[in-house]
């Protein structure tokens, strides 16, 4: 199994830092229900970077890719069901002071 260079690790680390800052920035912007979608998309991207580079999935055999793909498949189902609950929920009015 070939080892990735230090430059790749530093580049992925920098990308993770930028994505973390993007997550913080999105939390301050009012996007309504879309803010959940954006935050989960950023989190998914960060997870893919960690799995591919820091867990060496890029250099793994095919069966490992199948198992990881199954995990991401179930993660997509979980996120899809969560989003269907959040986006179809009715909001209760807030009582005035």
pLDDT tens profile 9-55: 999 999 999 999 999 999 999 988 888 889 989 998 999 999 988 88
User: What distance in Å separates the CA atoms of residue 68 and residue 46, rounded to the nearest whole number?
Assistant: 15
Counting residues of the chain whose pLDDT is more than 70, the rounded percentage is 96
- For the chain, what are the domain ranges? 1-59, 61-96
Q: For the chain, percent helix, then strand, then coil, each to nearest 5?
A: 75, 0, 25
Higher-confidence residue: 42 or 93? 42
User: What distance in Å separates the CA atoms of residue 17 and residue 44, rounded to the nearest whole number?
Assistant: 14
Q: Check if the beta carbon of residue 47 is closer than 8 Å to that of residue 21.
A: no
Tell whether the model's pLDDT for residue 95 goes beyond 60: yes
Q: Check if the beta carbon of residue 15 is closer than 8 Å to that of residue 22.
A: no
**pTM > 0.75: yes or no:** no
Give the residue carrying structure tokens 């301050």. 28
């Amino acid at each position: 199994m070939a080892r990735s260079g230090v430059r790749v690790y530093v580049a992925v680390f920098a990308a993770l830092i930028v994505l973390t800052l993007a997550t913080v920035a999105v939390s301050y912007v009012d996007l309504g229900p879309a803010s959940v979608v954006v935050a989960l998309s950023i989190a998914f991207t960060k997870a893919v970077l960690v799995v591919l580079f820091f867990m060496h999935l890029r250099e793994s055999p095919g069966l490992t890719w199948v198992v990881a793909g199954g995990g991401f498949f179930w993660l997509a189902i979980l996120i899809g069901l969560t989003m269907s609950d959040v986006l179809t929920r009715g909001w209760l009015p807030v009582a005035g002071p």
